[in-house]
Chain A
Amino acid sequence: MPEIERRITQAEAIREALAQAMEEDERVIVIGEGVPDPKGIFGTTTGLQQRFGKARVFDSPLSENGITGICVGAAISGMRPVMVHQRIDFALLAMDQIVNNAAKWHYMFAGQVKVPLVIRVIIGRGWGPGPQHAQSLQALFAHIPGLKVVMPTSGYDAKGMLLAAIRDDNPVIFIEHRWLQDIADHVPEAPYIVPLDQALICRPGQHVTLAAFSYMTVEARLAAEALAEHGIEVEVVDARSVRPLDMSTIVESVRRTGTLIVADTAWKTGGIAGEVIAGVAETAFSALKRPPLRICLPDIPAPTSPHLTRGYYPDALYLARAIAAHLGRSIPDAELADRLFRTTPHDVPQREFRGPF
């Protein structure tokens, strides 16, 4: 009997993963500003304290660096803490403990001590979070040896990768996108693992490799569907992990398509999109038929007003136009716009995308 397909939102999938991790291992504890409060980190921690008790599910003082260090101290003492920041921007206050201690404790003591720590951080866009509540800082963390950094897109992957991250003996920066949390997906109830180091080809195609990170995978898939109607077959690769980057999946794809475009949620300069392109250029330069292309945010912080964010975030229409232009294909713009122009406001999640992934 095939399992009846169960569809839950990514927020519910994350909550289920946390609950299952706590059930299977009493060393797992969850802490963060707002974890037990009525909003429960966008619904990802709701009810956990009632179920597992105040000894394992904590609210946190507003002390990001201190609490991160305290979680490192608990992790090296045999616990498996999961901490959460409602916005990745607040994790910047903890960079000392993340970079100097969490990432290095195993290395600098020559492997004697493990740091099984998961730091959930949430990124987002739209509805005015502005310069300090919407940054995509994956490259900052991915630069640090000793950290693992992942950015699941689907609810299925969010659950499987969170369970993998909690079972992992290393510090994992687990980056969630606010616009993905309300998207429903097929998520099996029983616990399962999705590896922390493998990209996923989520739509095969022969003309261009479109490597996408996190929410940009959603826009990439919409763009790919529209372009397919015009004979352009886009291979969409959901990178899923940032450190380690699964370069072999991307390189193999580029060997088939000859063209690489990278869509990231972050700024262009010093970003992970450039890292993907560098990796392909180093190992498969001759496979490239044309220059690679980065589709990222402009190199300025996010503004707040909807009048100012218009055009700041590349969407499916932007991607489709850019891909067609890069391939030298002329598609009547009205046809792309007719398919992809958003009828809903640009500063709320794509209603056009409902999953499944």
Chain B
Amino acid sequence: MTTFSLFRSMLRIRRIEEAIAERYGAQEMRCPVHLSIGQEAVAVGVCAALQPQDGVFGGHRAHAHYLAKGGDLTAMLAEIYGLENGCCRGVGGSMHIIDLAAGFLGAVPIVGATIPLAVGAAWAAKLRNEDKVIVVFFGDGTFEEGVVHESINFAVLHRLPVLFVCENNLYACYTRLSERQPDRPIHAIAAAHGCRIFTAEGDDVEAVHAASRMAVADLRAGGAPVFLECSTYRWREHCGPNQDDHLGYRPSGELAKWESTCPVSRLASTLSSSPEGARLVAAAEAEIAGEIASAFAAALASPVPQPADLPGYLYA
């Protein structure tokens, strides 16, 4: 994966999330949204190391993971709008997204809920001798859930091909990490469970990608489960389209510091240092803007789902 491809994937996610935020005020997306702005590099760096047959699970803030794994944009937007062509036909909304064809195996908002599912999917892959790596993304808060430790224990015990990606963005809603966990690295606990550990600056997509490639290669070779911890930062409010720094739950200047190391704009600057690079970046912006406009139009052209269909979804 070239640096430009990594950049383009991040830029696309950033612009999609911004477009969602811009349109959210129209009150037509009638579900909670948790935007990935600021955290694009982790999703992109990890997913760029995967093959199509590999599987990815996410949590409540999963747009970036879904898109980075190749999830269908129009289906995601239609889902957020609650329409029939949505990836869950309107049953799920932003917090429940899935694209099986792309290997995005599902995201749900119960914190930690998909971690054992990822381990179970990796267990099934091992039992069936499939060449498949399973990735699960989660935050620092998730690491406080007991089920995470139960799952990692089982994964290490059975040496399953699973990559745990902890996006440590320092906050669980409005509560800082230091209020919730003692002062020790999260990955040290995973190391004690027997995982192989990688860490990366989560605003450096190439660093995340390099670590992920090594991790995935290890897993394909039958190595122990890998735990990758990435430092990162959520720019917008926990839930919704707006800024919330004025609420004062984060130290003054902290957001500005992370914005100054923006994974997208930093790489845009680097790439634009040559005239050819600048042309490519501008072209990417234009292409992505066109794709987003088309995807919103296509999503909004979807029929509305019918309540009469709901009972049919309950049992297989």
Contact = CB atoms under 8 A, between A and B. Distances in A.
Nearest to A94: B147
B153 interface: yes
A96 B114 CA distance: 11
Contacts of B91: 107-110
A73 B106 CA distance: 11
Interface in B83-127: 87-92, 96, 98, 100, 105-106, 108, 110, 113, 115-125, 127
B315 A170 contact: yes
A66 B153 CA distance: 9
Nearest to B99: A112
Which of B89, B121, B124, B153 is most buried by chain A, counting CB atoms within 10 A of its CB?
Answer: B124
A97 B116 contact: yes
Nearest to B315: A170
A112 B150 CA distance: 28
B316 interface: yes
A75 B313 contact: no
B154 A61 contact: yes
A100 B108 contact: yes
B316 A109 contact: no
Contact of A73 (B110, B124, B315): B124
Contacts of A107: 91, 313-314
Contacts of B125: 77
A246 interface: no
What does DSSP make chain B's interface, helix, strand, loop or mixed?
A: helix
B150 A63 contact: yes
Interface in B190-209: none
Interface residues of B, number: 41
B104 to A, nearest CB: 11
A76 B105 contact: yes
Nearest to A79: B124
B151 interface: yes
Given A61-B153, A63-B150, A96-B147, A111 B312 contact: yes
27 contacts: A55-B127, A61-B153, A63-B150, A63-B151, A66-B119, A66-B153, A67-B154, A69-B119, A70-B117, A70-B123, A70-B151, A70-B154, A72-B120, A73-B117, A77-B124, A78-B124, A78-B128, A100-B110, A106-B314, A107-B314, A108-B91, A109-B91, A111-B312, A111-B316, A113-B98, A113-B100, A146-B314
Interface of B: 55, 87-92, 96, 98, 100, 105-106, 108, 110, 113, 115-125, 127-128, 146-147, 149-151, 153-154, 157, 312-316
Interface of A: 29, 55-56, 61, 63, 65-79, 96-97, 100-101, 105-116, 145-146, 148, 169-170
